[in-house]
Structure 1
Amino acid sequence: MAVAQELTIGEMVERCGVPASALRFYEREGLIRSRRTSGNQRRYGRHMLRRVAFIRASQSVGIPLAVIREVLDFLPADAPPTKEFWERASECWRKELNSRIEKMERMRDRFTECIGCGCLSFEQCQLMNPEDKLAALGPGPRRL
């Protein structure tokens, strides 16, 4: 049995686990492409499965779609992301991801410390913000 080189939107949904609305959105945003049949139905090249997988994996670690698009713009429009492409993209994002991880760890550690006192008040807490000294720095969470 021959493998179809093009997939309908329903087949893409089934294979990717991504709703059709997301595929149409990705297409509007220039992240993926399809061709239209004479009946105006979308047909996706099989290689779009890898592009969608790349998009979803990137989103799952918090990479914004605008940044994903910038990286995908380095690929020819009809080329799937390769292992080498993914390695280069992840290297570009390593610094940002490490920064996010460090920030989340700080938030976890400080939040846990505060919850330990039992008051649940960031403004009044004598452990994290004695005498509300952080108010002088302006509104918002200053220590997190």
Structure 2
Amino acid sequence: MEPPLTPQQLWDCALRLLSRRDHSRRELGQKLRQRQFDAELVEQALDKLEQQQWLADRRFAAVQVRQHIFRKHGPLRIRVELQRKGVDEADIEQALEEEAPDWFELALACYRARFAFDDRLDIKEKAKRMRYLQSRGFAFEHIRHALETPPE
């Protein structure tokens, strides 16, 4: 039988995880519990990390939004990813508002990076292109803009 994991081991593990990249509170908690640390100790450690500002969902959301925009992901996908990682709706909204990209131009850039302009698209090809932009998280109005904007 293995000896129980100590609070110091928990703290060291949490800091190691945070040194690699930012995590949301829920995400870090899940990773620590998966490593068989006591749930109560995990919560105490997460509280302490938040007090020391080493763990902040608001900062995590801002970083994630920037990364997703860089990868040309739309607002719907970003929102779903952050919700899945346990970030509050208010933090998601604030991060999206702070970045405030032009979603129409981002959808157009994403579209042009993937497809050549063709003003004679058949229904199947147009649907394929729309599904691609939908999967990237763009709303219908962004997709329509990308499909209908002629090249300069």
* TM-score between both structures, scaled by the size of structure 1: 0.31
Higher helix proportion: 2
Q: Which has the higher contact order (CA 8 A, sep 6+)?
A: 2
* TM-score between both structures, scaled by the size of structure 2: 0.29
